[in-house]
With several copies, the nearest count.
Chain A
Amino acid sequence: MQQVRLTLPMIPNMELTASKTACAMGEQIGLSPDKIDEVQMAVVEACINAFEHSGAADREVRILFQVLGSTDEPNGLEIIIQDGGGGFSPDKIRPRDTEEILNAPRKRGHGLRIIDGLMDEVEIRSDSEGTTVVMRKMR
């Protein structure tokens, strides 16, 4: 299977390097421009979550881009974003509605909703060893 690996330092704007790589991979397998945009934005969110919340000691995010289907007939892109931070309980993160967000003192808590909304499939595995976000976009 066709795999590209990217390791990024947790530095502001590095998420853009990840999103450009996602773009190149998406073009490679013939994803539509709109789907590529969606993947790029989801990758940005997953990266900044790792940058901001993981507290990983090595200050690195590892990303695996995997072409789904065969080389001749790729049918999607799987992106696995992994950090070695403290983890969290994805089940405890309750989606907030906009009303609630507007009234909350800090306007945050969007990242996971955006990822969910833009990708076809999302799985999050997280424990005290770190967090792994698996996301897929089909052609």
Chain B
Amino acid sequence: MTESLKLTVDDQRDGLSVIYTDGYINNQGGEEIARVAYELIEKGQKCLLLNLAGTKIVNSIGISILIEIIEKMLEIDGKLAFCRLTPTIEKTFHIMGLAQYAGIYSDEETAVTSMTS
């Protein structure tokens, strides 16, 4: 079966890593993001940006895993932020109240500037 989420990581930046998603964030997709995020945290990265430009659909199980990552980040005094959400994904994140715990930015540049300053 395909339809699986593809991730690309850019960890060659100063002070933050960007994770790019491509596809559906469901159970497995969320877990894949968590795996990659925890790997980056292990390596000492405390600032993560999830660029969701390649994602049109997220389900609530996927979101619940994202909330777990946010929690972990709060514990270690790190930061997790999102950018390039579709209006519907942004709306869904607001319904869940995620915006209180994680930054949501329209584009990558704004996110990076705000997170690293």
Which residues of A come within 8 Å of B, CB atoms? 12-13, 15-16, 19, 27-30, 34, 37-38, 40-41, 44-45, 48, 74, 97-99, 101-102, 106-108, 110-111, 113-114, 117-118
**Segment of B12-20, B39-47, B52-60, B105-113 engaged in the interface with chain A:** B52-60
Asked if B8 lies at the interface with its beta carbon under 8 angstroms from chain A, I say no
The distance in angstroms between the C-alpha atoms of A12 and B97, with both chains bound, is 27
What are the 9 tightest A-B residue pairs by CB atom distance, in nearest-first order? A98-B97, A110-B60, A107-B64, A37-B88, A117-B95, A30-B2, A111-B60, A107-B67, A38-B88
- A41 x B88 contact (CB < 8 A): yes
Q: Chain B interface (Cβ within 8 Å of chain A)?
A: 1-3, 24, 26-27, 56-61, 63-65, 67-68, 70-71, 86-89, 91-92, 95-98, 100-101
Q: Are A108 and B60 in contact (CB under 8 A)?
A: yes
A113, B94: Cα distance in complex, Å: 11
A-B contact pairs, 8 of them (CB 8 A): A12-B1, A12-B27, A13-B1, A16-B57, A27-B3, A34-B86, A41-B88, A111-B60
Note all chain A residues with C-beta closer than 8 A to B91: 38, 117-118
CB distance from A41 to the nearest CB of B (A): 6
Name the residue among B27, B59, B86, B100 with the largest chain A CB count within 10 angstroms: B59
Query: Are A34's CB and B1's CB within 8 A?
Result: no
Q: Roughly how many angstroms separate A106 CA and B95 CA in the complex, as a whole number?
A: 18
Give Cα A12–Cα B28 distance, bound, in whole angstroms. 10
Task: Write the nearest CB–CB distance from A77 to chain B, whole angstroms.
Answer: 13
Distance (whole angstroms) from the CB of B66 to the closest CB of chain A:
9
In the assembled complex, the CB of A102 is this many whole angstroms from the nearest CB of chain B, namely 6
Q: In the bound complex, how far is the Cα of B91 from the Cα of A55, in angstroms?
A: 30
- Assess the A117–B61 pair: CB atoms within 8 A: no
Give every chain B residue within 8 A of A30 (Cβ-Cβ): 1-2
Complex Cα distance, B60 from A123, in Å, reads 19
A113 to B70 alpha-carbon distance, docked (Å)? 20
Bound CA–CA A118/B59 (angstroms): 13
A4 to B61, CA, bound (A): 24
Inter-chain contact B64/A98, CB cutoff 8 Å: no
For A24, the closest partner residue in chain B by CB is B3
Provide the bound-state CA to CA distance between A111 and B67, in Å. Answer: 14
